[in-house]
Chain A
Amino acid sequence: DTGVSQNPRHKITKRGQNVTFRCDPISEHNRLYWYRQTLGQGPEFLTYFQNEAQLEKSRLLSDRFSAERPKGSFSTLEIQRTEQGDSAMYLCASSERFGYGYTFGSGTRLTVV
């Protein structure tokens, strides 16, 4: 068990470009969450998967954002036509059961220039 892995750790992109992040959860965890964290704020919920099904999406997840979890294993979060306001830390977490401890990855820090 190597914990939750996120790649890349850092991403700098030009405004208008598309970016994709990957999250590999703990293997036996069937629940996966994406959060966004900006400086000085707590993590804000973006979306949630149970196995391969995307069950919840926040209003924060505009139509430029899409997330997938094919086969219920790793997940990807794509942002199209990035804007400067998308600059943040994108965190992934997984859990075995609802209400149990959520294990977070180290995050992907996105900077849009």
Chain B
Amino acid sequence: AQKVTQAQTEISVVEKEDVTLDCVYETRDTTYYLFWYKQPPSGELVFLIRRNSFDEQNEISGRYSWNFQKSTSSFNFTITASQVVDSAVYFCALSELSGGSYIPTFGRGTSLIVHP
């Protein structure tokens, strides 16, 4: 079973539309960390946000916002007024204790295509 599920394989929007990328995770730990990364066509993974399991406060950073809900094991990512430069693959990751270490496990990613 996938520990991190990103059910949306590809999303296509027109510039200025809002878009939400879904992430559902599975863990038995009470302490864990969640992340979102962006992978543009250049290939390098870019860190966007980190959340620990004890902090359910939603976060907004410019056009980006994240909604963390432990009750549904979800950590969704919304881009407001999307732009062409937002086109990339976005990965959600879960870091939980494994053999004494916290190891990030990534979802399969959601490819976002923003058309002009």
Contacts and interface: CB of A to CB of B under 8 A. Distances in A.
What is the size category of the interface that chain B forms with chain A?
20 to 34
Given A42-B106, A99-B52, A104 B45 contact: yes
Nearest to A41: B108
B98 interface: yes
A89 B45 CA distance: 12
A33 B103 contact: yes
Contact of B50 (A93, A99, A105, A106): A99
Contacts of B46: 104
A42 B109 CA distance: 6
Given A42-B107, A102-B35, A50 B47 contact: no
A43 B45 contact: yes
A107 B52 CA distance: 27
Interface string B16-37: 0000000000000000010101
A80 interface: no
Nearest to B37: A104
Nearest to B47: A101
Contact of A43 (B42, B50, B91): B91
Contacts of B108: 40-42
Interface string B68-100: 000000000000000000000001010100111
Give the secondary structure class of B's interface.
strand
A112 to B, nearest CB: 19
Interface residues of A, number: 25
Interface of B: 4, 33, 35, 37, 42-47, 50, 52, 91, 93, 95, 98-109
Contacts of B101: 48, 50, 55-56, 98
28 contacts: A33-B103, A35-B106, A41-B108, A42-B93, A43-B91, A43-B106, A44-B106, A45-B104, A48-B101, A48-B103, A55-B99, A55-B100, A55-B101, A56-B98, A56-B101, A89-B43, A93-B45, A99-B33, A99-B50, A99-B52, A101-B35, A101-B47, A101-B50, A102-B104, A104-B37, A105-B44, A106-B43, A106-B44
Contacts of B37: 104
Given A42-B91, A106-B43, 15 more contacts: A40-B109, A41-B109, A42-B93, A42-B106, A42-B107, A42-B108, A42-B109, A55-B99, A91-B45, A99-B52, A99-B95, A102-B35, A104-B37, A104-B45, A104-B47
